[in-house]
Structure 1
Amino acid sequence: MQHFPYQLTGPIGSAATFGLIVLQVDETIEQDFRRLFPSRDIALYVNRIPSGAALTPETIAQMGRDLPAAAALLPQRVAFDVVAYGCTSGTTLIGPDRVTDLVQGALTTRHVAQPLGATLAAFAALDLTSIGLVSPYIDSVSGPMRQTFETAGLQVPSLLSFGEEVEANVARIDPASIHAAALQVGADPLVQAVFLSCTNLRTLDVIDDLEQRIGKPVISSNQALAWHMARLSGAPLAADAPGVLTSKPLARPHQGVLPPI
Structure 2
Amino acid sequence: MTVLDLPLTLDDRPLPRRVGLVTLATDHTTEVDFAALPPRGIGVYATRIPFANPVTPDTLAAMAGDVTRAAALILPDEPLDAVVYSCTSASVVIGDDRVRAAIRAGKPGAEPITPISAGFAALWALGADRITLLTPYTPPTTQPMAECFEDGGFVLQGLSCLNMTDDRAMARLSHGTIIDAARAAVAPGSQALFIACTAVRAAGIAARIEDAVGLPVVSANLATLWSAMRACGDKGAALPGQLMRLA
Question: After superposition, where does 1:8-47 map in structure 2 within 5 Å?
Answer: 8-14=10-16, 16-35=17-36, 37-39=37-39, 41-47=41-47
User: Over aligned residues, Cα RMSD in angstroms?
Assistant: 1.5
Matching residue's letter, 1:141: T
The residue aligned with 1:242 is: 240
Taking CA–CA contacts closer than 8 Å with sequence separation of 6 or more, which of the two structures ends up with the larger relative contact order? Answer: 1
Residue matched to 1:206: 205
Q: How many residues align?
A: 245
Q: Secondary structure at the match of 2:163?
A: strand
Q: Which residue of 1 aligns with 2:3?
A: 2
What letter matches 2:57 in structure 1? P
Alpha-carbon separation, structure 1, partners of 2:203 and 2:83: 22
Alignment of 1:159-198 (within 5 A): 159-186=159-186, 188-198=187-197
Unaligned runs of 5+ in 1: 250-261
Paired position in structure 2 for 1:226: 225
Which residue is 2:59 aligned to? 59
Q: Which amino acid aligns with 1:122?
A: A
Task: Quote the Cα distance in structure 1 between the aligned partners of 2:57 and 2:9.
Answer: 50
Question: Partner of 1:104 in structure 2?
Answer: 104
Q: CA deviation at 1:117?
A: 0.3
> Which ranges of structure 2 fall in alignment gaps of 5 or more residues?
none
Q: SS in structure 2 opposite 1:163?
A: coil
Q: Match of 2:60, SS? A: helix
Q: What amino acid sits opposite 2:209 in the alignment?
A: L
Asked if structure 2 preserves the Cα contact closer than 8 Å seen for 1:12 and 1:42, the reply is no
Preserved CA contact (<8 Å) 1:18 1:82: yes
Structure 1 stretches of 4+ with a deviation exceeding 4 A read 236-239
Q: TM-score under structure 2 normalisation?
A: 0.94
